[in-house]
A and B are shown apart, each in its own frame.
Chain A
Amino acid sequence: MKVKLSKGERVFETFNIILLVFLCLIMIYPITFVIGRSFMEETYLSMHPLAIIPQKFSLEGYAFVFNKDSYILNSYVVTIGRTIIGTLASLFFTAMLAYTLSKKNYPGRSVMTLIIVFTMWFSGGLIPYFLLIRSLGLINKFAVYIIPNLISAWNLILLRNFFMSIPIELEESAKIDGANDLGIFFKIYLPLSSAALATIGLFYAVDNWNAWFDSLMFVNNRKLWTLQLMLQQIISSTNVNSLVSPSAVLQQQIPMEIVKYACIVVATVPILCVYPFLQKYFVKGIMVGSLKG
Chain B
Amino acid sequence: MNNSVGSTMRNKIIIEKKKKNNTMKFIAWFYKYRYLNLLALPGIVYFFIFKYLPMYGIIIAFKDYQGVGGVTGFFSAPNVGLLHFRNFFSSYYFWRLLWNTLILSFYKLTIGFVCPIILALLINELRNVAFKRMVQTITYMPYFLSWVVTAGLIMVLLSPSGGPVNTLLGLISHIKPIYFITDSHYFRSILVSSDIWKNVGWGSIIYLAAIAGVSVELYEAATMDGATKMQKIWYITLPAIKEIVAIMFILAIGQILNQNFDQIFNLYSPAVYSVSDVFDTYVYRAGITNGQFSYTTAVGLFKSVIALILVIVSNSVAKKFDTEGLW
Name A's B-contacting residues (CB within 8 A). Answer: 6, 8-9, 12-13, 16-17, 19-20, 23-24, 26-28, 30-31, 33-34, 46, 49-50, 93-94, 96-97, 99-101, 103, 106-107, 112, 115-116, 119, 121-132, 134-136, 147-148, 150-151, 153, 156, 180-182, 185, 206, 209-213, 217, 228-229, 231-232, 235-236, 260-261, 264, 267-268, 271-272, 275-276, 279, 282-283, 286-287, 289-292
Specify the main secondary structure of chain B where it touches its partner. Answer: helix
CB atoms of B71 and A135 under 8 A apart: yes
* Contact (A127, B57) CB under 8 Å given A20-B135, A27-B141, A291-B315: yes
- Beta-carbon contact of B229 and A9 below 8 Å: yes
Contact B57 A126 (CB under 8 A): no
A289–B251 contact, CB under 8 A? yes
Q: Are the C-beta atoms of B209 and A286 separated by less than 8 Å?
A: yes
A205 to B179, CA, bound (A): 35
Which residue of chain A lies nearest to B204 when distances are taken between CB atoms in the complex? A286
Query: Chain A at the B interface: mostly helix, strand, loop or mixed?
Result: helix
Pick out which of these stretches binds chain A: B2-10, B270-278, B281-289.
B281-289
User: Are A119 and B47 in touch, CB under 8 angstroms?
Assistant: yes
A151–B283 CB distance below 8 A: no
In the complex with contacts A26-B197, A30-B157, A235-B151, A121-B36 CB distance below 8 A: no
State whether A106 touches B326 (Cβ < 8 A).
no
Residue of A nearest to B36 (CB): A100
**Contact with B122, one of A16, A100, A209, A276 (Cβ below 8 angstroms):** A16
Cβ-based interface call for B43 (8 A): yes
Closest Cβ neighbor of A267 among chain B residues: B149
| B163 to A: closest C-beta gap in Å | 7
Tally of contact residues, B, Cβ under 8 A: 94
**Which residues 115-160 of B have a CB within 8 angstroms of A?**
119, 122-123, 125-127, 131, 133-142, 144-149, 151-157
- Check if B60 is an interface residue, CB within 8 A of chain A: yes
Besides the known contacts A27-B141, A235-B266, 12 further A-B residue pairs in the complex with CB atoms under 8 A apart: A23-B119, A28-B141, A34-B152, A94-B43, A123-B54, A125-B300, A128-B297, A132-B53, A134-B70, A271-B144, A283-B208, A290-B327
Q: Which residues of B contact A30 (CB under 8 A)?
A: 153-154, 156-157
Verify if B215 is at the interface (C-beta below 8 Å from A).
Answer: no
Query: Which residue of B has the minimal Cβ distance to A21?
Result: B135
- The reply to whether the CB of B44 lies closer than 8 angstroms to some CB of chain A is yes
